[in-house]
C-alpha cells in the first residue's frame, strides 16, 4: 500500500503543477458544467466503448474455443474496469478479468492471458492506425517524430510475432532446462502462448476485426475529447490535432508511474495539443480536456459495480480476495 500511496502522491502533485502552470483550468470546468449536455454526450461515447471492448475480446476468445458468452464477457469487462479504477496497483483490472474468465471457463490460464495480450496489442495497433490517418494534417516536425516512433513500435510487434511463430517451440524446450518447477511452468506457458499466437496468425480476419473494433472504440474516445474541448471553448485545436494528442496521451497514460496514469495523460495531451495549434494562437489549458475525460471514464468504470453485485457469491469473493492481496503484493509482502 505504501507504493500505491507514493504513486498517488506523485499523480496528485502532477495534477497540482498542471493546474498551477495553467495546463488545467478548473474554473473552465465549473463554467462549462452549467450546460451539461455536451458532457453527457461525451459520457455516452465513453460508455459505448465498453460493449465494443467486450466484443473485441469475445471474438478473440471464440477463436481459441473458450466457452464464454458475450453477455459474460460484457459483465467481466465492466467489472474489471471497476476494479481497475478502485484497486491499488497497475494491473488490478487485468487480474480480475483473468481470474473471472478462468473461473467461468476452467481452461488454460495461459491461453486466456494470451487472448488478453492480443486484445491489448490490437488496441495499440488501432492507435497507431489512427495516428497515421491524420499524419498529413500535422506540422512536419511532429510528422517526422511520429513516423519514427510508430515505425519502431510496429517493428517490435512484428519481430515478437515472428519469433513466437518460428521459434516458440524451441524457446519452450529450452525453458525446461531451468531448475525446479520454474522451468516446467515457464515451458508450459511458452507452449500455450505460442499455440494461441499460431491460431490467431492462421485467422487473419479475426485479428483484423479486433483492430477495426479498436479503431471504432478509440474514435469514440477522441470524439468525446472533441466534444469536451468545444464545451470548454478551446477553439484552436483541430480534429487531427485532437486525434494525435489523444492517441499519444492514451499510450502515455498506460505508463505505471501513477495510479491510472493520473497527471501523465493530462500533461501529454496538453503538451502535444500546444505543439499542434497554429502559430500565434492563444495559450489554452488543453490538459483540462484529458482531466474531464478521465473523470467521465472513472464514472463509466463505476457502472461495473452493478453486474458485480448480481454475480455469484463465489465470484464476488474472488474479486474481493484480489483486492486484499494486491496491496500486499505492492509492498512486497510474501504471498500466502
Residue 225 reports pLDDT greater than 90: yes
Q: What is the DSSP string of 175-216?
A: HTTSSHHHHHHHHHHHHHHHHHHHHHHT-HHHHHHHHHHHHH
Task: Determine contact, residues 261/281, Cβ cutoff 8 Å.
Answer: no
| Model confidence pLDDT, tens digit, residues 72-86 | 999 999 998 888 876
Give tens-digit pLDDT for 27-73.
999 988 888 999 999 999 999 999 999 999 999 998 888 878 999 99
What nine digits make up the cell of 80?
Answer: 474489471
- Quote the cell numbers at residue 277: 495549434
Q: Which residue has the higher pLDDT, 23 or 170?
A: 23
What was the pLDDT predicted at 124?
84
Number of neighbouring beta carbons within 10 Å of residue 141: 9
Instruction: Give me the residue spans of the domains in the chain.
Output: 2-66+107-132+209-303
Assess whether pLDDT exceeds 90 at residue 232: yes
pLDDT digits (tens, 9 = 90+) for 97-120: 888 888 888 777 778 888 888 898
What's residue 336's pLDDT?
36
Q: What is the chain's length?
A: 336
List own/partner pairs for 33-41 with CB under 8 A and 24 or more apart.
35/231, 38/227, 38/228, 38/230, 38/231, 39/227, 39/228, 39/231, 39/292, 39/296, 41/224, 41/227
Nearest partner of 75 among 106, 43, 40, 100, judged by Cα = 100
- Are residues 114 and 106 in contact, defined by beta-carbon separation less than 8 angstroms? no
What is the value of pTM for the model shown?
A: 0.82
Question: Tens digit of pLDDT for each residue in 239-278?
Answer: 888 988 898 888 888 877 887 788 999 999 998 888 888 7
Question: What average pLDDT score do residues 143-160 get?
Answer: 70
Find the mean pLDDT for residues 273-294. Answer: 87
pLDDT of residue 139: 62
Residue carrying C-alpha cell 466534444: 227
Of 85 and 302, more confident: 302
Residue 228 or 181, more confident: 228
The candidate with the shortest Cα–Cα distance to 79, out of 320, 324, 328, is 320
Which pLDDT value is given to residue 136?
A: 63
Amino acid at each position: 500500500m505504501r507504493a500505491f500511496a507514493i504513486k498517488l502522491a506523485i499523480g496528485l502533485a502532477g495534477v497540482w503543477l498542471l493546474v498551477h502552470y495553467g495546463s488545467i483550468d478548473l474554473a473552465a470546468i465549473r463554467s462549462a458544467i452549467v450546460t451539461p449536455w455536451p458532457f453527457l454526450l461525451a459520457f455516452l461515447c465513453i460508455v459505448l466503448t465498453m460493449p465494443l471492448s467486450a466484443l473485441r475480446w469475445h471474438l478473440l476468445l471464440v477463436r481459441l474455443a473458450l466457452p464464454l458468452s458475450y453477455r459474460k464477457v460484457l459483465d467481466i469487462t465492466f467489472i474489471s474496469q471497476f476494479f481497475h479504477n478502485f484497486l491499488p496497483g497497475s494491473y488490478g483490472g487485468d487480474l480480475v478479468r483473468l481470474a473471472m474468465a478462468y473461473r467461468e471457463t476452467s481452461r488454460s490460464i495461459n491461453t486466456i492471458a494470451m487472448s488478453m495480450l492480443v486484445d491489448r496489442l490490437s488496441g495499440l495497433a488501432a492507435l497507431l492506425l489512427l495516428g497515421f490517418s491524420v499524419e498529413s494534417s500535422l506540422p512536419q516536425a511532429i510528422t517526422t517524430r511520429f513516423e519514427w516512433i510508430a515505425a519502431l513500435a510496429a517493428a517490435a510487434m512484428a519481430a515478437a510475432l515472428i519469433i513466437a511463430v518460428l521459434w516458440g517451440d524451441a524457446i519452450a524446450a529450452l525453458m525446461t532446462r531451468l531448475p525446479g518447477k520454474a522451468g516446467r511452468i515457464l515451458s508450459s506457458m511458452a507452449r500455450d502462448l505460442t499455440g494461441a499466437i499460431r491460431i490467431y496468425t492462421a485467422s487473419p480476419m479475426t485479428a483484423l476485426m479486433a483492430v477495426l473494433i479498436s479503431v471504432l472504440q478509440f474514435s469514440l474516445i477522441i470524439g468525446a475529447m472533441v466534444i469536451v474541448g468545444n464545451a470548454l471553448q478551446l477553439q484552436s485545436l483541430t480534429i487531427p490535432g485532437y486525434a494525435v494528442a489523444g492517441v499519444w496521451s492514451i499510450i502515455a497514460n498506460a505508463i505505471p508511474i501513477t495510479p491510472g496514469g493520473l497527471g501523465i495523460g493530462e500533461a501529454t495531451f496538453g503538451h502535444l495539443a500546444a505543439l499542434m495549434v497554429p502559430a500565434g494562437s492563444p495559450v489554452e489549458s488543453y490538459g483540462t480536456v484529458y482531466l474531464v475525460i478521465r473523470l467521465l471514464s472513472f464514472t463509466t468504470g463505476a457502472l461495473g459495480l452493478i453486474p458485480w453485485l448480481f454475480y455469484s457469491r463465489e465470484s464476488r469473493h474472488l474479486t474481493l480476495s484480489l483486492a486484499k492481496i494486491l496491496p500486499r503484493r505492492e509492498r512486497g509482502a510474501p504471498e500466502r
